[in-house]
Amino acid sequence: MDQVKTGAVIKHFRTALGLTQRELAERINVSAKAVSKWETGNGCPDVSLLSVLAEVFGTDIQVLLTGEIDKNESEVGNMKKLRFYVCKDCGNIVTATSEASVTCCGTKLTALEPRKAEESEKLSIEDIGGELYITADHSMTKEHHITFVAYQSDSSLMMFKQYPEWPVQIYLPVFRSGRLVWYCTECGMLYQEITNK
C-alpha cells in the first residue's frame, strides 16, 4: 500500500461525499487527526478499517489499497461490445458496457473473450413465422452444458438462462441483425451472427 496514493484517494472520496475530516472520522470511529494523517500521506489506515472505509465510500478495498481510481472510457451505445463475466463457482452472470472490476465468490473475474463458433458448434436457428426458434445440439449434462444464451444488437440485450439436463429451446422475436452469444462450461464463450433480410 502506497500511503501517499491511498491518502489521496481517501481525500478524493471524502470530498466527493461532501464530508469534513471530522465527519468521516466520526463515521469510522477514529480521530480527525488520523484522517488528516492519512490524507497527507503520513500514515495509512489500519487494515481492519479498509472494509469500513470502502463501504462508506461505496468503493472496493482494492481501490483503497492501490490508491488508483480507474475511469472507464465511455463506449457509446454499442451493446455488441458488452462484456460478460461468469463465476465458475456459483454460475453468476454479470455484464458491463465497459471494462469493470468484478468479484464473485472471493475471486476476481475477467471478461470472457467470445470466439466465433465453428460450423459444428453453431446454434440452430429456424424462422417459425415471426419468431426465431433457437435450439442446440449440445450436451446438457451437469458437467458440460450451456449456462446462458444471449441475443445482442447495437442497442439491446436479451438473456436466456439455461439449466443442465434441459434442452436449449429459445423463442426470439425476428430481428434484422444481431449476435447470439452463449457460454459453455467446457468450451467457453462462443458467438454467431444473425442476419435477417
Q: Could you read off the pLDDT of 128-158 as tens digits, one per residue?
A: 888 899 999 888 999 999 999 999 887 888 9
CATH class of 3-66: mainly alpha
Read off the C-alpha cell for 182.
452463449
Q: Which class is domain 79-195?
A: mainly beta
Radius of gyration, alpha carbons of the chain: 23
Question: Shortest CA distance to 80 belongs to which of 167, 193, 187?
Answer: 193
Mean pLDDT to the nearest integer, 102-111: 89
Residue 49, CA atoms < 13 Å, CB-side half-sphere: 18
- Grid coordinates representing 142? 451437469
Q: Pairing relation of β-strands 131-135 and 157-161? A: unpaired
> Per the confidence metrics, is the pTM higher than 0.95?
no
How much is the pLDDT for 125? 92
Give CATH 1.10.260.40 domain extents, the chain: 3-66
Per-residue confidence (pLDDT) for residue 63, from 0 to 100:
84
pLDDT at site 115: 94
pLDDT in tens, 61-82: 888 888 877 654 444 445 667 8
End-to-end alpha carbon distance in the chain: 56
> Residue 97's closest CA among 82, 114, 117, 80?
82
CATH 2.60.40.730 domain extents, the chain: 79-195
pLDDT of residue 80: 64
